[in-house]
Amino acid sequence: MLRLIFSLSALAAGLACSGAFAAPSVDGPQGVRPAERGALMLAQEGNIDIYHDARGNRVLVDADSGKVIAIQPPGSRLDRRALRRQMRTQELGRAPAEDGDRYYLDNPEDMARFRRRQLEENGRVIPSPADQYDPNSDDNSVDAYPPAPNNDEGYATTYPEEPKSNAIKRQPLSEASIDPEQPGQGEVLQTNPETSLPPNTGGKASVDPSLSLGVRQDVAALQVLLDRGGASPGVIDGRFGSNVDKALAAYNEINGTNLKSTDAVGIQAALAQSGGEPFASYTITPEDVAGPYVASIPEDYSQKAKLDCMCYTSVTEALAERFHMDETYLKSINKGVDFNRPGTMIKVANFGKLVSTPVTRIVADKTKKEVYAYDGSGKLVAAYPATIGSADTPSPTGIHAVSRIALDPNYTYNPNINFKQGQNDKILTVPPGPNGPVGSVWIALDKPTYGIHGTPDPSKIGKTESHGCVRLTNWDARELAKLVSPGVTVEFVGGPAIAEVGGTSTDEFTQQ
């Protein structure tokens, strides 16, 4: 009873201040009437008395103390931020600073408001999440939120834009190829506009011959080192193979080392001591371009005999042989270069100096397909990969001797002694040249029709068969020719012997 009397007294004081009459509400949240739209909500565990005066104001009275907490005009919006500002005003005794742009990281509602504001600034209209149900207000209805824009059919048409894709576009992979080792080497210094045009293939697919699989620059560097050390790998082409393995074994014997193909540090150190970088720059001269050259080398011996010379067919072929390189590999490390233009700088193998120690004994190993050259003390001074005979036309056996040496010889085709080619039944003389049947060198042996000579196909050395003679690359044959003299012994070891199958060599030579 005393509590009721105290509450009525406080209510009378409130009405006197406002000059209005109000109807009391029932205590607790169960009896609180729905608040007017936009009214301020105060949550204090339901210990609130809410009145409405004659002017439509909403009067909030503390049920415990009877103190008027707030008077809300009609139409005021339910806003927790307004309530926080009002409570802050009571705490400070003054109006707080405008905090519409302030967000507190530890306040989930501030963070939600911050995210909604960001979305609105980005043009993405997303309704605010519905607040907890407030029995004192009808602001939880859909009318409390701005409507989403609609199209003519009544469906929302404002959607977030699809984010722009930053995915990396994958380019088709090219075949593995060799790039120039140093800037400026192998690049075009003077270009021909026509060289940039794609070749006319007649509608057929073609592969750039400079592109090759399995080619490695470090292998090419090893091949250069072996060549410098007197152990020829044949053509320098950047490929591992039997010729490289044989050359490495010979290199270690010649130089007294134990170098391995996997010892990159040791290879680099040996290169530095023997002449520096494995590749160097070379400028094409007018003489290089001038030739002489022939358009092609015919297969038929009667057609070969009609040519003025068995010359090179291109500048690239000539330069490849000069620098002990495979022609395709030379092109691959000098992409886009116009080899027919004097003054163009290209990248070439820096194979160093040739062997100069005189040779007194030669061993031709038919099983290993290798030629070994020894000096007077029996020390190995040079080794060369070789093609030595075949099963049908094997090379000689035993010990023989060098009888004569000829550089740039012509070649005599005699079907009565040698093989018969096609319908050619007459003796023919093929002019000299690096593309002749015996290349640019002939080292004759004391056994008739047999000798050590060059080849027009250096890339096939050690991989094909010969007509019974010992076939080397042109540059290896020329080097050996300068090291030997008539009377030097040539010993054939391993493999089948000519005495076992009979026959004679089909490599015949006649010097001009």
Q: Which residues are annotated as catalytic?
A: 453, 469
CA distances from residue 315 to 184, 200, 327, 441, 472 in whole angstroms, order as listed:
21, 21, 10, 21, 22
Which stretch of DSSP H or E encloses residue 61?
Answer: strand 58-62
CA 183 to CA 130: how far, in whole Å?
68
Q: Count Cβ atoms within 10 A of the Cβ of residue 498 and give its class: 0-12 exposed, 13-18 middle, 19 or more buried.
A: buried
Q: Is the dihedral of CA 249, 253, 258, 263 positive or negative?
A: negative
Specify burial of residue 206 (Cβ count, 10 A radius: 0-12, 13-18, 19+).
Answer: exposed
Q: Residue 219: phi, psi to the nearest 5? A: -70, -40
CA distance 504 to 232: 29
CA angle 268, 188, 213 (to 5 degrees): 55
Q: From CA 120, how far away is CA 131, in angstroms rounded?
A: 19
Beta bridge partners of 398: 492
Which residue, 350, 368, 383, 458, is CA-closest to 230? 383
DSSP 8-state code for residue 272: H
| Through-space distance between the first and last CA atoms of the chain, rounded to whole angstroms | 147
Contacts of 294 (CB under 8 A, 6+ apart): 307, 308, 309, 310, 311, 312, 313, 435
CA nearest neighbour of 341 among 275, 265, 377, 289: 289
Give the amino acid at 353: K
Quick check: 233 and 226 in contact, CB under 8 A?
yes
CA–CA separation, 449 vs 506, rounded Å?
Answer: 7
The secondary structure element, H or E, covering residue 283 is strand 279-283
